[in-house]
Amino acid sequence: MKFRKSMGMLLCSLMLVTTAACGSGGEKSSTETDKTGGTEATAPAATDAEDTGETAADAETDPVSTTPELDFDMGGRTIKWVSWYDESIKEDNPDNIEKKKNLDALMKKHNFKIEYVVVDYGEYKDKVTASLMSGTPVGDIIRLARPWMIPTLVKKDMFWPVDEYTKNDKVFIQQYTNEYSLYEGRGYGFRAGINGASSGILYNRTLMANMGIKPLQDYVNEGNWNWDTFMQVAKEANKDTNNDGKLDTWGLASDSLLVPAMAANEANLVADGKQTLDNPKTLEVLNFLSKLATEKIGRPSEGGDWTEPGQFFRQGNTLMYAGSDYETNDFHKDMPDIDIGFVPFPKGPSVTEYHSLLTIPNYLTIPKAVEHPEQLVYIYEKINDIKSVYDYPKQASLESYFSNEDDVNNAKLAGESIKVVESDNGYPEMPFYDLIGEIREGVSVSTVIEKYKAPFQAAVDKIWKQ
């Protein structure tokens, strides 16, 4: 019970922390990461990566995908851009300076002004939903998270589909339109910047060397960093170094790894309106978690809350922690004498590449009550269509997080494919933490699946069949 209560506290706390991972001003404060004991839940954060200046635009513009120059007059209209954080362009790096110049030129050419409206995150969903239902949306461009709008609000025809306007893949992240905001074949969201935070395994390289453990980087270099080698490494680091009969170093800060393991195996809990607990890929994930628990591979809880795995890692006696790239900054401050490394989350048995995770994708939308959506998306495209000074998206952030070239390359690799894992964030009545709790308590996977298939489906049906 204590476990489930602390998990609920985690979810609330992460509401203001994790999607920086998915977001802006330099993912320093997201998932976009997911942590429940180590990594379980993710919610939109107060920042979004599109404003880091790390644009998706390359040095060259594709003449095929780029929208041709348009000529229209907006009559002095003020465009209201609504978010739970300030999305105005900060002229804090060369890319953002160019974006601000683009905006100024667009305002002059098309005769409009722009107002950035910030709504407190705690009130955001309810306030935005009420405005949409009343026919008087709070803004012309509104940032929303997928579970807040799909399927309920999209079913009510509250938003314009935008996929026909987002073909410029040098600016728009195609996954956000064509996958994350997809409903019945149309995409309703758009965004530029980066996909999100790179999630993986942060590890204590100093402890690894002192214990004589094979470098984790070797497994990556060999193409052999998978769940089996991951568990092997964790077991090697579980040691009683002073011979008092008790472990005093541990390999893994927590065995609560459902969401990152789902992403790493291209699995999910829900697909096409159906629970997928008995899907082969999901079954592999649950068996992996069961093995971590029954073989006592993870460091046991000492009764702490959701921050406990991070605190364990800070003690310097725990080798691996499942988290995200931006968390490294805080670890560096708290562990100044420790060399912290990063490798992707190990590959699951059903995949051939590494994946990061995302549980609540968020993006910009345009309400149906707003006229000329094509003009708004066009303005957004032209703001962000610049020649970036960076070699690749997230370069500035990753090089600030890591000084080791391998770590930078690993984080870059991990962030190249981000998988969305649906959980109770979109299905409030899903007994998500109850299922996790029973797996961690050693209940057999087959028993857990049979017990939770029906309630999981009922939670899904409540959303999709209303």
- Overall average pLDDT of the 398-407 stretch: 96
Q: What is the model's pTM?
A: 0.82
Please give the Cα distance from 93 to 85 (Å, whole number).
19
Comparing 45-54, 202-211, 244-253, which segment has the lowest mean pLDDT?
45-54
Comparing 461 with 39, the larger pLDDT belongs to 461
pLDDT at 425: 83
Q: Distance between alpha carbon 378 and the CA centroid of its chain, in Å?
A: 26
* pLDDT for the residue numbered 63: 54
pLDDT tens-digit readout, 343-352: 999 999 999 9
Alpha-carbon span 31 to 196, nearest angstrom: 7
Query: What is the 3-state secondary structure of 318-385?
Result: EEEEEEEHHHHHHHHHHCCCCCEEEEECCECCCCCCCCEEECCCEEEECECCCCCHHHHHHHHHHHHC
Contact 335, 207 (CB under 8 A): no
> What are the tens digits of pLDDT across the range 295-349?
999 999 998 888 999 999 999 999 999 999 999 999 999 999 999 999 999 999 9
Predicted confidence at residue 44, as pLDDT, reads: 53
pLDDT tens per residue across span 19-28: 333 333 333 3
Predicted pLDDT at 465: 83
Q: Hey, what are 110's tokens?
A: 């098309």
Of all residues in the chain, the percent with pLDDT exceeding 90 is 79
Model confidence band, residue 56 (pLDDT cutoffs 50, 70, 90): very low
Contact 322, 258 (CB under 8 A): no
- pLDDT category at 92 given cuts 50, 70, 90 is confident
Asked if residue 407 has pLDDT above 60, the reply is yes
DSSP string, 229-276: HHHHHHHHH-B-TTSSSS--BEEES-S--HHHHHHHTT--SEETTEE-
